[in-house]
Amino acid sequence: KQEVTQIPAALSVPEGENLVLNCSFTDSAIYNLQWFRQDPGKGLTSLLLIQSSQREQTSGRLNASLDKSSGRSTLYIAASQPGDSATYLCAPYCMNYGGSQGNLIFGKGTKLSVKP
């Protein structure tokens, strides 16, 4: 059974800091991995998608890496801003689970607070 763990569960940093969010998963048989952002009481915003054959993806101040063999992904946020405050979710797309052809398995997220 795929299990996804995100560390830390919560993080508070001053504005301007660079930070790293960690995600680990137990089954390396994944199709891809997505990072999402969720604001309180809201839906999910897709941030980055890394295919299983890729090592990293970048979008603006965000960089996500994937080491499928070790079951790890990291999300790097450069020069953090108060607007980055949200919960960040990691979700590998697993081909071997669920009644459908695949299933996103979500971690519980890292709640980030960036102080002005």
Question: Where along the sequence are the contacts to another protein (CB under 8 A)?
Answer: 31-32, 34, 36, 41-46, 49, 51, 89, 91, 93, 98-104, 106-109
DSSP assignments along 13-33, one per residue: EETT--EEEEEEES---EEEE
Q: Decide whether 66 or 79 has the Cβ nearer to another protein.
A: 66
φ, ψ (nearest 5 deg) of residue 83:
-70, -10
Composition of the chain by helix, strand, coil, percent to 5? 5, 55, 40
Least Cβ distance, residue 14 to another protein (angstroms): 27
Least Cβ distance, residue 53 to another protein (angstroms): 12
Q: Decide whether 32 or 65 has the Cβ nearer to another protein.
A: 32
Q: Decide whether 80 or 110 has the Cβ nearer to another protein.
A: 110
Structure tokens at 70: 């070790």
Least Cβ distance, residue 91 to another protein (angstroms): 8
Least Cβ distance, residue 5 to another protein (angstroms): 11
Residue in 55, 83, 68, 62 with CA at minimum distance from that of residue 23:
68
